[in-house]
Each structure stands twice: as structure tokens, then as C-alpha cells.
Amino acid sequence: MAEVWSEQRLLIDGELVDAASGATYDNVNPATEEVLGVTADAAQADMDRAIAAARRAFDETAWSTDVAFRLRCLRQLDEALGAHAEELRGTVVAEVGAPVALTSGPQLDAPLQGVGWVADLVERYEWQQDIGEATNFGITSRRVIQREAAGVVGAITPWNFPIQINLAKVVPAMAAGCTVILKPAPDTPWTGTLLGRIVAEETDIPAGVFNVITSAANDVGQQLCEDPRVDLISFTGSTSTGKKIMRAGADNLKKVFLELGGKSAAVVLDDADLGSALFMTAFAITTHAGQGCAITSRLLIPRSRWDEAVEQLLGIMGSISYGDPTDPANMMGPLIRESQRERVLGYIQKGVEEGATLAMGGGIPTHLEKGFYVEPTVLLDVDEDATVAQEEIFGPVLAVIGFDDDDDAVRIANNSIYGLSGGVFAGSDERAVAVANRIRTGTMTINGGLYYGADAPFGGYKQSGIGREMGVLGFEEYTEVKTLAFPV
């Protein structure tokens, strides 16, 4: 096994350190089931030190107010990340199980490019806005709206797209003048700790501004959410965990950004190009083994075209190559761990028990002896209220639902607690947009268009979250607004 670029240490107050207890835990390659190495297993004492460092750096240094210095540091970080791109690529493939083909997009290259976009935004951003004069009680005043850093940020990130999500939180937060404690997912620690090493060794970002805490336990994450010294929690993960984070921060009325679950629908209207629509949907559900919150995991097809659509879908799904993530031909690799595979298999069984037809896949592939793989799976005739149509599976499982007309399709698409993403395919963009505008989600693809980019806000309606990540709106999540008044 080739050596993978790694970092087992925490970053606390500018120093790369082991956990105070000396504890570590294994980092496992999900494609081979081999132990890649170890990572520091932090405890509450380590988190306490990190929070104290971030609080001090925010309160006692010029980081939050010196925009020019922050910009110089961001440019350094951008350059350093680019210099380590190939090393990071190997780490992402090994610890995430992400196919190497995906690292040319949102698993690595695209988020690295986004760092420069954030730096450019800081350079041109108008931190003050003059809103003119007003007269009250006989006093005429000029009023100015001013943006300031929100404070100390706790960033809690998942394992599915760790480079993307780590950078989407950490970089805008620091750019806004915040100090940050990053807690990466236990399954993908090195993509977080390596960011800590790069910041510590290759930038002038001051001690305490950025800290990285890895832990196999959940209690340090709970600590981060509850500590009154932390002003804002930025979390990406499940809706159930997001609700716990809101409760944990309630006593301090902590500001929260939550990017949560999804059960997005791909709606194929009766005049759509079936081949294109079905290919994109099959591609989406198998990309990174379906481990994406915005992936369209419900496929809605018109009953008037049901037979031909199903025939084409099964042919496309059957042609998708999957397996070894180091093979550029594969777009689908393993699930992240054995417990996640068992969870996905349990959902498939539940779907069949509730009346769906298992048309393809549904089990562990026999040709792959190692790794946490599940076959690409198609469930047909799924009831819109069935468990597999309502709950987020996070695996390569496509639930196919029939509909009668456009109104029926919109109703089914909106029959969800989630509202993160979705897509509409139609014979014209105008018809697709008319349907898309009736579906309550934060992002939509129109006839296969892709919205992803550092400048595009991402987030959801309903129980898919609060706030937006990326874009100017994502940057401004890490700011507070102050209104100043001056006598004229």
C-alpha cells in the first residue's frame, strides 16, 4: 500500500500537538478495510484549550479588524493548498473512499479553487454601506451599516466531502474575521488535520485563529456546541444531529448555520429527453455511492412513459462501473464504514417489505472481496410515503415513483420534510422552471444544469437546514451587522 500523506496531531493555539491523554484511534481505508494510520483522539481538556485559544485570538488580537492582514494570509493558504493538491488527492481517495475521478471536481479541485474566490471577495467586499440620512426628534443623522466578524466559530463537518465542506466553512469564517475550531468527522480526520498543519507551517495565520480537534467520541462536539465562549456553530450533517445542536446552543442563544439532510426528487416530465434525464439521475445516485445530501434519490417518472423509462434506467444503471476508487474509470466506490453499509442494506430490505419491487442490486457485490460496497440498487413502484421515499439513506439506492401529471409530480416532490435540492427535466427550460418554482428546495437543476460553485449559495428549505453556505450569503453567515449613526 502506497504511503498516504497524513497528520495525526491536533492544532491548538498554533501548535501541532498530540491529545493530552496520548490517546489515538485508527483511520481505516473503506475500500480495503486496512488501517491507514492513527489520529489523535481528543478529549474535553483538548477542546477546552482550543476554545480558549480561539476566544483569546478573537478578543485580544487584530485578526477580526485587520482586513489587509487577513487577505494576505488567505492568499498564502490558497497557494499552500495548491502546492499540496496531489498529496491531498491521495489522502481523499484513501480515507474517504472517494473515486479519484471525483477529486477533479467537488472532492478536491473545485473547493481548492474556491479559496481564491473567497480571497477575491474579501478584497472587493464593502464592509460599510451608507444608507443615508434620517431625522428623529429633530436630530438629523447619517446612518451606516457595518459588517463585523461574528466571533468564535465551531465548525463541525461530515465525512462524505470533507475537503469541500471543511474549506466551505473555515475559509469564509476566517475571511470574515472569525476564529475557528474545526471538528472533522471521526471517519475522515486527516483532511482536517492536514489543513491544520498547512495553516500552522505555511501561513502567517496567528496562533489560536484556527484550531483542529479530532475525536472518536461525540462529547467534544457537544462541548463545542454548549460552550458560551463559542458564538456560532456551523454544522453539516444529519437533520437529527442538527436538532440536537440547536438544543445544545439554546441556553446561550448561539447563532447556528445548519446544512442538513435531503431526499431530493428528480422529476422527469412527459416531454423530457428520457435518455439524458435517466443518465444524469443514475449518475447522481451512484456518484460516491450515493453519499451526498443533495443527491436526487427519488426519481419521479410519468406513468404514461413508465415502461420505456424503466427499461432505459435499468440499462444505464447496469452499465455503471464501480469498485476500486483509485481506478479513474469508477465513479462509485465504497460506503464509509461497515455500519453504514448495514444501514443501507437495512433500508433496501425495508423498502421491499413495504411493497417496492427490487429491480436491480440490493446486496453486497460478490466480485469485490474487500471494502464496504453495496450494489447500485433500483427500487420500483415505491409508495411516496414509504420509508425509502421519506428517509435519507445515504447509499446507492434509487426510489422510483410514478406520477400522473405535473400537479401530481409537484405534490409528490414536496411530500417530504426535506427541501435541499432537486431537478426537473422537460422538453423546454421554460416548462421545467415552471415546475421547479413550485418545489420548495434550496437548489434545483434544470435539464441537467449544475449549480455548484464557490459563488453559488447552497442550503435548504424546511428540515434541510438554516442559512446558506458558499457565495456572498455564505460569507455573510459569519458576520454580524452593526448600524452606526452620526449627527449631521
* Backbone angles phi and psi of 149, in degrees to 5: -60, 140
Instruction: Indicate if 153 and 289 belong to the same structural domain.
Output: no
Point out the catalytic residue in the list 95, 226, 293, 476: 293
Point out the catalytic residue in the list 259, 375, 392, 469: 259
Look at residue 459 and tell me if it is in a domain: no
Look at residue 5 and tell me if it is in a domain: no
Instruction: Indicate if 146 and 277 belong to the same structural domain.
Output: no
Instruction: Indicate if 436 and 477 belong to the same structural domain.
Output: no
For residue 257 the three cell numbers come to 448555520
If one counts every other C-beta atom within 10 angstroms of the C-beta of residue 450, the result is 12
Give the CATH number for residue 162.
3.40.605.10
Instruction: Indicate if 92 and 32 belong to the same structural domain.
Output: yes
- For the chain, residues with pLDDT lower than 70 are 1-2
Whole-number pLDDT of residue 3? 86
Look at residue 469 and tell me if it is in a domain: yes
Look at residue 199 and tell me if it is in a domain: yes
Whole-number pLDDT of residue 302? 98
Per-residue model confidence as pLDDT tens digits over 94-150: 999 999 999 999 999 999 999 999 999 999 999 999 999 999 999 999 999 999 999
225 in catalytic set? no
Whole-number pLDDT of residue 2? 66
Whole-number pLDDT of residue 287? 95
* Backbone angles phi and psi of 173, in degrees to 5: -65, -50
- Sign of the Cα pseudo-torsion (36, 38, 39, 43, in order): positive
Give the CATH number for residue 430.
3.40.309.10
Instruction: Indicate if 358 and 326 belong to the same structural domain.
Output: yes
Whole-number pLDDT of residue 218? 81
Provide the domain count of the chain.
Answer: 2
- Sign of the Cα pseudo-torsion (254, 155, 24, 201, in order): negative
Look at residue 1 and tell me if it is in a domain: no
Instruction: Indicate if 37 and 139 belong to the same structural domain.
Output: yes
Look at residue 403 and tell me if it is in a domain: yes
Instruction: Indicate if 240 and 319 belong to the same structural domain.
Output: no
Instruction: Indicate if 382 and 360 belong to the same structural domain.
Output: yes
Q: Do the Cβ atoms of 307 and 315 come closer than 8 Å? A: no
Look at residue 141 and tell me if it is in a domain: yes
Instruction: Indicate if 248 and 286 belong to the same structural domain.
Output: no
Instruction: Indicate if 269 and 342 belong to the same structural domain.
Output: yes
Instruction: Indicate if 235 and 308 belong to the same structural domain.
Output: no
Q: Which domain holds residue 297?
A: 264-454
Look at residue 438 and tell me if it is in a domain: yes
178 in catalytic set? no
Per-residue model confidence as pLDDT tens digits over 175-230: 999 999 999 999 999 999 999 999 999 999 999 999 999 999 888 999 999 999 99
Record the pTM: 0.96
Instruction: Indicate if 50 and 111 belong to the same structural domain.
Output: yes
From residue 92, give the alpha-carbon distance in Å to each of 4, 87, 219, 264, 422.
9, 9, 26, 26, 27
One-letter amino acid identity for 437?
A: N
